[in-house]
Structure formats: C-alpha cells, structure tokens
Structure 1
Amino acid sequence: MINHLKDWIIEADIERMQAAMETGLVTSEELVRTYLERINQYDSKINAILEKNPDAIQIARDLDKERKEEGSRGKLHGIPILLKDNIDTKDNMMTSAGSIALAESYAAKDAFVAAKLRSAGAVVLGKTNMSEWSNFMSSSMPAGYSSRGGQVFNPYGANLFVSGSSSGSAAAVAANLGAASIGTETAGSIVGPASQHAVVGIKPTVGLVSRAGIIPISSSQDTPGPIARTVKDAAILLGALTGVDSEDSATFASEHVFHQDYTPFLDVSFIRQARIGIPRHYYQHLDSERLAIMEAAITTLKNEGATMIDSVIVHVEQQSWNNDVITYEFKKGLNAYLSQLAESVPVHSLEELIAYNQNHAEAALKYGQDTLVRSQETSLTEETYLQKKQAYGELPLQKGIDYALNKDHLDALLLPGDVDGMYIAARLGYPLISVPAGYAVHGVIDADGDSTKGPFGVVFSGRAFSEPTLIKIAYGFEQAAQHRVPPQLD
C-alpha cells in the first residue's frame, strides 16, 4: 500500500502506475478513487470534467480481480482515462458535444476508440468539457465554453487562454484529474490546448485512428488523439487506439503503416540525426516572450545534435480555411450522426438542432449559433463539394508541407503552439505533436498587480503517417528540455 496516495498520484505516469499495480502497492480501484477525490476537490476551479463515470469504481474493481486471476492485459490495464464529450460510450454517461440538446443522449454502442480502450483494460473515468459542437457553433463563442458544461478554465490561471475544443481534456490532464485523456481535432483542437496547458498532445494522421462513433465536424480533417503529461504516456495511448475499422474508410490507408505500440520510437538518440525546418513565417506574430521560448527550443534542439534549417519556406498564400468544404462536411456528418439517435433525444437533424436552440435560447444561445445556421444554409452540391475538396488539397501537396520537407530533406517542421501553422497540417490530415516548451507572461494584470505566466508549447509537424519520427523528435526534445511543471491548485 502506498502512503499518501493523493500526493504520489500527482504527475505519476502510466508506467509508474502500472508497476505499482503489478507489485501490489496500489490497485486500480485506489487510483480511480484518488482521481475522483481530486476531481471533487479541484474541478470546481477548472470546470474540465463534464461527467464522472458512475461505474468507474466497479470497473476498476473488476480489472483488479482480473489482474490477480488472469494477469495484466498490458500497459493500460487499470489506468483511468478521460474522454472528450463528443466520443460515444455505451454506458451510464451521455455523449453531447457539450450541447444541452443532447444532455440526455446515451450512445447505442461505444465509439471505436472507446471500445479499444476498454479492450486494453483502461478505465473510462469520465467525460471532459469542451467547446460546444467542437467550436463549430458560433463565431463569437469563446474556446472551452459549452451550454451543458459552462466555461473551462486554465488551471495555470483563470485568465489564461484554454484554446481549441479539447480544452477540458487538456486542463484535466494538466491538473492531474486523470492519467491521460482522449481529445479530438479538426484544426488545432488537440495540440492547441496541449500547448496552453503544459501537456503533450498528439494529433494523428487522419486515418490512423477511427472516427466511428465520434460527433463530427469534417470527414477530411477530424481525428481523435491522446493528451498526456509525457510523450511516453501519449505514445502508449496512441498505440491502443490505432487499427483498421470498416466503419471508417479513412483507416484503410493505415493498414500497413499503423503500429500497436509506439514506445519503441522513444529514442533520444534520434535527435542527433534529425533535420528540422524553421518556417519563420509562422513566428512573425509572436511577442518577445513567446519568441524567446521558440529560440530557446531551437537552441535546445541544436545542442542535442539536431540540424536546424532556418527560414524554410512553406507557401501559405492559397492555404486559407475553406468554409464551403467544412460547412458541407459538417452538415452531412452531423445529420448522419443525429439521425441515428434514440427517439427520446429531441433533435435528429441540424435543422432540428437549430430550432431546439432557438426554443431554449436562454440556456442554449449565450453566444448565438451563426455557424450552425451557415452550415444548414449551405447550397453546395455533392459534385461541387468534391471539386472544391480536390482543389482544397492539391496546392498544399505541391507547395506546402511535403514540398518543404522534400526540398530541404527534413524530418519535421518546428512551429509555435498557437498559430495557423497547424491549419496547413489540418488541411492535409497530417500529424502534429505538441510538447511543453516554457512559460510566458500572459499580459493580464491580476488584483495584486502581477501578470500571469502561462504555458506555451512547440509543435512538430511532419508528412502523413510520420508519427514514429515525430515521437522520436518530441521525446528527444522533452527529455532535454523538461519544461513540464504542474499547476498550483491549492
């Protein structure tokens, strides 16, 4: 038995928890109870947890019994994991994308990723708060707000940006309210929050992890991915999520390239042979403190032996976000998802959702729903959509990430964790990894006259299915830099 488990669990990684369970020092039930106690104690300040799994303790108890009688299933056996609230779970929790319209919607079956986690022996601890409809509801809605869950706050400071729709998933992991979490990303919604919360986020290549059973935005760009406190934990989680799924045809492309274990790529020596590009265009907007963090990261990588190629050109002038394509995919995908919900759920189409929100405006429309309305009103035909989608992807392939990596024989690009650089990767469905890189003054003065320092991360970008290489680079940087510091919650 571990004394002071409530202290031991802070910053404990998956490997450490697993070792403690294997040697009988702690049980999964004790881990779950301790995390639930932390949620009860601290989440009122953060608002990251939308719902706790009422069956989590019993699930952990059953897994403890299984470990004793049959042995461990592997690295995630008994590990408490949080899921974003747009991921279906067939249990006693709802799946609502943060919307009060789906506040009583129980999924008919697990999403692919939820089923994979359960099969690996993970305990689904709860659902995390998020930007409602993954921030595809209103152009004026702040990141991290949902009508069902309210506003997510950054545990490093209530006035700090939470970024992206997976804000609750990142804030919860940063505050040690779970071992790790699963977020989803369309454009920046995993790596953005990870960067702002001093955690690691992996946005996989679209097709590496199935989207089946996840409330969608874009069939071209959506992907679930892990958020954790270390690169190793994120790699462990990623390996549990991959696989070909007949319900998501995008996964067919990963059939011969996915791995079920990414921990062999935790290789600090790789950094000595890595060639990393610096696209200065994406550094131009940075204030002096964040620019200093990026320069320090470049220096760290150089000191570790990486070859840094400065002023890499990634053409951006024709890579703007294409609203026509995304709104079309959102309408089509959301209608398909809503149509199969139980009759007891009050909405079964985007049109019905808009009407429901209007009829419950006081609770549902604090920030309006102009994005939902724009999606409903799209006049794009399937033929025009396909033409636009083709054009949407061609230029970045010719002049974007692939062009830059091939031209200078690069393994990855180094980007700041808060910029449009993630959009060029999103457009192609390419992978990203965010790693803590430092802390910068937010610029807001609090009641004591002090400015708040908040986390800031670096993002490594690469070509399709280059997760093994990005993990090697991210791990090498993390081990050299060691910038992760937990927030002070007391």
Structure 2
Amino acid sequence: MRLLASLACVVAVSAGLVTPAAAAPALDLDSATIPRLQELMRAGRLNSVALTGAYLKRVRDVDPKVHAVLALDPTALAQAAQSDARRKAGRSRGPLDGIPVLLKDNIDTRGLDTTAGSRALAGPPPRSDAFLVRKLRDAGAVVLGKANLSEWANYRSTNATSGWSGVGGQTNNPYVLDRNPCGSSSGSGAGVAASLAQVAIGTETDGSIVCPAGVNGVVGLKPTLGLVSRTGVVPISAEQDTAGPMARHVVDVAITLSVLQGRDAADPATREYPAGQPTDYAGLLIGGTLRGKRIGVWRKAGVNAEVDRVVEESVAVLRGAGATVVEVDLPHQDEIGENESPALLTEFTRDLPAYLATRRGAPRTIERLVEFNRRDPVELSKFGQELFEQALTAPGVDDPTYRQQRRTATTLARRSIDETLAAHHLDAIAAPTNGPAWRTSYGSGDAFELGSSTPTAVSGYPDVTVPAGYSGELPIGLSFFAGRWSDGKLLALAAAFERAAPVRHAPRYLPTTG
C-alpha cells in the first residue's frame, strides 16, 4: 500500500503535471516552521506544490529506514495545487493552507484505508472524513497520507511491541533505528521527527501522543478531553481518548490545535469547553515567558540517571529564565493505575463495537476480531491478543464495580493535579515525559522505564511535551501539565522553554548505539 501510493505521487511529479520539489528554494525542512513557510509562500518564493513535493521526496528517500508512513494520499499534489490557486486568488484559508499533514491510521480519512494497523480493517475505506479531518481540510491543509501506529492503538496485547502493526510492520526511531518509537502514535512521532511531514495528528488514551513525541524528539500536545472531536476515530475509551497535534516546533502545534478545536454535535464532550477558550493558540506564544511563573517539578527520580540529569538541567533552565521551581510529588498514583486498567477494558467493550458498526465490511464484534486474528498468518506473529480476549468477559458499563473504578480513577487523577497546583500556588507541573528509547524486540513487550502521562490521561487534562535533552543520541522530553482547559497556558510555557533551551537536533538515523 505504501509503495503504490508513493509511486502515484512520484509519477505525477515526473510527468510534469506539477512543479517538482527541485523547484523549491533550498529548504531545511527540519527547522522550517509554519509561519516561515507561509512567509515564503506569500513572497512567491515557495508554493504548496513544491513544499508537498519536497515532503513526498523525503518519504521516498528516508521512510524506508523509518517505516513511519503507512500510505500516501495520491491526491496530495492536487490538494496542494488547489491551495496555490486559492493563494493566487487572495482566498487563502489561513496558516495551515497548503501545509502537509500526516494522519494516524486510526483516523477516518475519505478515500484512504483506515485500518488502526489491523488487517481486519483493510477493507473498504471510510465513506467520510473524521470530524477533525474535515476541520483540517476546511483550513486548507494537505492530507499527505496515513502514519503507522501500534496496532489498535496498543490495545490488543499485554505483551505488545510499540510501533508494530499487522498492516505497516515496525516503525523505527529515526535517531537510532533499532530503538523503539513508543506507542501508539509511533508513526506520527517518528514521521515528523524525520521531516516526512510538517505536522502529524496522533491520538492518546494514556501516553500515546506524549511518549512518541518525547522519544522521537518532537513536540506533542495531548489536549484537554473535549477540545478536539473524536468522531471517526477508532476508540479505546470515550473517558480518556483524544486526538492531538505533533510537530517539530511548539508554534506548529499551536497553529494546528487552533484548527482542530471545535464543537461536534456527535461528540458530547466537545460541548463542554468554555465559550472563552482561546481560538488562536499561536497568538498566545508571542511574548510568552517563564519569568515570574511557579513550576512544580515532579522528578520521578531514581529510575534512570540520564533522565535525572536532563530534569536537573531543565530545572536550571527554568530558574535561569526567571521561574520559581518547587519540588512536588503527585499523590494517589498507585490507586489511579489500579482502577484505570479495568475501567478501560470495560469501556473498550462498549466503544470499539460502536465504531466497527460504522465501517463497511469490518468485523462487528470483538469476538469476530479475535477469530480473525487467530486465522490470520500475520496478526499474531509477534505477540498475542490478551486484551481482546479479556474484553470478552469484561463487565458492562452498568456494572457497579466498573462505575466505582472509573469514578475513583478520574477523581483521584484530577485531585492529584488540582490539589498539587493549589497547595503550591503553581502555574504548571513539569515532569520527564520518557526515558531513553529501548531496543525494539518481540516476545516480552516494551522495556518501558518511566513516564508521567497517567495523571493527565485519566483526568482528561492537557499535557504538552517539548524536547529537553538527550541520553547519547536518544531524546528525552519534558512535559508541562496543569488543570482542565489550560492548553493555551501550557503551550505558552512550552514555547518559552523551547526558546530558553533550543536543544533539539535532527535525527542521524544511526543503525544502533552502545
């Protein structure tokens, strides 16, 4: 699927149907921001066709090492040409117009397969776009293609390897290719790190945006639940799922969030965000500062010495930029985890079949997915389907034990953040996003060391990660999080940190490291 779609676009270039990528000015795609690209396009020094062609060439040349792109949209260059025509006519739709975007392959996309990485969904494509994809198209974004992911958003096996799917195989970390890209938005994180698109959209239930962003050295935002519609996104749990942007620069994430945000009558959670919620998140970054801010640091110390070093360096950056840093330790974490896992299993049994009913030719039940996987020669070749099998006997959402589990998990997660912020008069909490990426292997699952995503995932609060340092060649991110609907404030803090500590460098695609 990847090769056929790639060839369709490359043929369009070579046949002279569009301006080839070589016509673009010399661009360092890794460092280019959306505002800079738009400046070049307004000045007539670049157009969307040339920019899209440059990214298609990157996919052709670089993705064989990374395996981040599952399929390219054969209409990408035509979309770009339409953007150029709008710009020439003075009808540009805003800062995302003409900007190439990758979509995680659990997001319904008209005319493209949406498989969640599973061969069971490799049938007819969705009839319509997910709500968030319609928002992107309305803003003029170029849908470049679909990104690989951990199959079923890493919710099939207790022994899964992140970044692997039956459809796309294994995505690699572009910094060190035998290291893992983390899940489940693995292709989205690795794809933007490798400059295969300007922006990618990921999804998260617990850690699946911020961990791939952290280990691949990019910026990722897990928005407040309800800020971005989930309609047309393959679910795990309506209580925790959300989509969000990933990019190499905070400003690109902010611009993309401004487009993604929107009320959707089919997603009740989107009715809850305040009328005064910002609509121009990039505008909030201008003049943003750390001076005078109070930041709690949740070190998660003692697990990995390199992470401890990067956190200490980050604390020095925060203080050097004028912030007051307060040591904190978030309470209730064990109890949150104990209740989150069984609650998700029950919610999965409710939410996935409801989505499957919207897809032509798809298995309609988890039971049929289990049977499909048992018969398929690829699906169970690397690891099992323990979570699918556990779902067959999970209690329903009316079960009183489940209701207590969900209530306990969500309440304690919110208290762990809200009470810590209030007790120390904090603007935000900072914590290490990830440890160094582990070597990819099969049979024993991920060698995951540490993360800080669970409090925000379970509470539904926002979490933004920004590159903070490296363990050798392996990126380590720093997360900023705070209370509900604080997305804009967190993006401003992340942008200020990014300016104060511009540590990120492009990947070198090392085959391995010691």
TM-score range, shorter chain: over 0.9
Kindly indicate whether residue 373 of structure 2 is the aligned counterpart of residue 353 of structure 1.
Answer: no
What letter corresponds to residue 349 of structure 2 in structure 1? Answer: K
> Which of 68, 71, 82 in structure 2 is aligned with 1:48?
68
What letter corresponds to residue 83 of structure 1 in structure 2? Answer: L
1:242/1:259 contact within 8 Å kept: no
Kindly indicate whether residue 431 of structure 2 is the aligned counterpart of residue 412 of structure 1.
Answer: no
Secondary structure class of the residue paired with 2:289: helix
Structure 2-normalised TM-score?
0.89
Q: After superposition, give the CA deviation of every residue in 1:337-379 in whole Å (9 maximum; x if it has no partner).
A: 111211xx24122111111111114445431111111112213
Q: CA deviation at 1:214?
A: 0.2
> Which of 261, 267, 271 in structure 2 is aligned with 1:252?
271
Q: CA deviation at 1:3?
A: 6.3
> Which of 403, 412, 420 in structure 2 is aligned with 1:386?
403
Kindly indicate whether residue 507 of structure 2 is the aligned counterpart of residue 487 of structure 1.
Answer: yes
> Which of 255, 265, 275 in structure 1 is aligned with 2:294?
275
1:42/1:489 contact within 8 Å kept: no
Kindly indicate whether residue 51 of structure 2 is the aligned counterpart of residue 26 of structure 1.
Answer: no
Q: What residue in structure 2 maps to residue 338 of structure 1?
A: 356
Q: CA RMSD in A?
A: 1.7
* CA distance in structure 2 between the partners assigned to 1:487 and 1:186 by the alignment: 27
Shift of the 313–181 alpha-carbon distance from structure 1 to 2, 3 Å rule, reads closer
What letter corresponds to residue 394 of structure 1 in structure 2? Answer: T
Structure 1-normalised TM-score?
0.93
* CA distance in structure 1 between the partners assigned to 2:488 and 2:379 by the alignment: 45
1:100/1:364 contact within 8 Å kept: no
Kindly indicate whether residue 94 of structure 2 is the aligned counterpart of residue 74 of structure 1.
Answer: yes
> Which of 47, 65, 85 in structure 2 is aligned with 1:65?
85
Q: CA deviation at 1:70?
A: 3.7
* CA distance in structure 2 between the partners assigned to 1:24 and 1:381 by the alignment: 56
Q: CA deviation at 1:64?
A: 1.0
Q: CA deviation at 1:276?
A: 0.5
Q: After superposition, give the CA deviation of every residue in 1:270-292 in whole Å (9 maximum; x if it has no partner).
A: 31021100124x2231x222211
Shift of the 270–169 alpha-carbon distance from structure 1 to 2, 3 Å rule, reads same
Q: After superposition, give the CA deviation of every residue in 1:277-336 in whole Å (9 maximum; x if it has no partner).
A: 0124x2231x22221111000000000000101244434232215222101111111100
1:283/1:416 contact within 8 Å kept: no
Q: What residue in structure 2 maps to residue 367 of structure 1?
A: 383
The aligned runs of 1:141-180 (5 Å cut-off) are 141-180=160-199
Shift of the 166–257 alpha-carbon distance from structure 1 to 2, 3 Å rule, reads farther
Shift of the 379–310 alpha-carbon distance from structure 1 to 2, 3 Å rule, reads closer
* CA distance in structure 1 between the partners assigned to 2:330 and 2:406 by the alignment: 24
1:267/1:475 contact within 8 Å kept: no
* CA distance in structure 2 between the partners assigned to 1:363 and 1:65 by the alignment: 44
Tell me which moved more, 206-215 or 420-429. 420-429
> Which of 459, 462, 487 in structure 2 is aligned with 1:431?
462
Kindly indicate whether residue 217 of structure 2 is the aligned counterpart of residue 186 of structure 1.
Answer: no
* CA distance in structure 2 between the partners assigned to 1:290 and 1:109 by the alignment: 43
Q: What residue in structure 2 maps to residue 291 of structure 1?
A: 308
2:335/2:409 contact within 8 Å kept: no
Shift of the 62–397 alpha-carbon distance from structure 1 to 2, 3 Å rule, reads closer
Kindly indicate whether residue 327 of structure 2 is the aligned counterpart of residue 310 of structure 1.
Answer: yes
2:23/2:50 contact within 8 Å kept: no
1:267/1:476 contact within 8 Å kept: no
* CA distance in structure 1 between the partners assigned to 2:431 and 2:276 by the alignment: 25
* CA distance in structure 2 between the partners assigned to 1:6 and 1:125 by the alignment: 21
Q: After superposition, give the CA deviation of every residue in 1:26-76 in whole Å (9 maximum; x if it has no partner).
A: 111111111111101110100000000011111111121122124211000
Q: What residue in structure 2 maps to residue 422 of structure 1?
A: 453
Q: After superposition, give the CA deviation of every residue in 1:201-232 in whole Å (9 maximum; x if it has no partner).
A: 00001001111110001111100000010111
Kindly indicate whether residue 13 of structure 2 is the aligned counterpart of residue 13 of structure 1.
Answer: no
Tell me which moved more, 122-131 or 464-473. 464-473
* CA distance in structure 1 between the partners assigned to 2:197 and 2:46 by the alignment: 16
Unpaired segments of 5 or more residues in structure 1? 442-452
What letter corresponds to residue 319 of structure 1 in structure 2? Answer: I
Secondary structure class of the residue paired with 2:334: coil
* CA distance in structure 2 between the partners assigned to 1:248 and 1:414 by the alignment: 30
Kindly indicate whether residue 52 of structure 2 is the aligned counterpart of residue 35 of structure 1.
Answer: no
1:265/1:468 contact within 8 Å kept: yes
Secondary structure class of the residue paired with 1:77: coil
Q: What residue in structure 2 maps to residue 212 of structure 1?
A: 231
Q: CA deviation at 1:244?
A: 1.0
Q: What residue in structure 2 maps to residue 448 of structure 1?
A: none
Secondary structure class of the residue paired with 2:102: strand
Q: After superposition, give the CA deviation of every residue in 1:153-186 in whole Å (9 maximum; x if it has no partner).
A: 0110112231120010010100100011000011
What letter corresponds to residue 347 of structure 1 in structure 2? Answer: P
Q: After superposition, give the CA deviation of every residue in 1:414-442 in whole Å (9 maximum; x if it has no partner).
A: 1111234210111111110100011103x
Q: After superposition, give the CA deviation of every residue in 1:85-121 in whole Å (9 maximum; x if it has no partner).
A: 0000112x11010001111231121111100000000
Unpaired segments of 5 or more residues in structure 2? 1-18, 435-449
1:268/1:473 contact within 8 Å kept: no
1:38/1:177 contact within 8 Å kept: yes
> Which of 283, 297, 301 in structure 1 is aligned with 2:318?
301
* CA distance in structure 2 between the partners assigned to 1:435 and 1:274 by the alignment: 18
1:6/1:34 contact within 8 Å kept: no
Kindly indicate whether residue 417 of structure 2 is the aligned counterpart of residue 396 of structure 1.
Answer: no
* CA distance in structure 2 between the partners assigned to 1:390 and 1:326 by the alignment: 12
Q: CA deviation at 1:257?
A: 4.1
What letter corresponds to residue 455 of structure 2 in structure 1? Answer: I
Secondary structure class of the residue paired with 2:89: helix
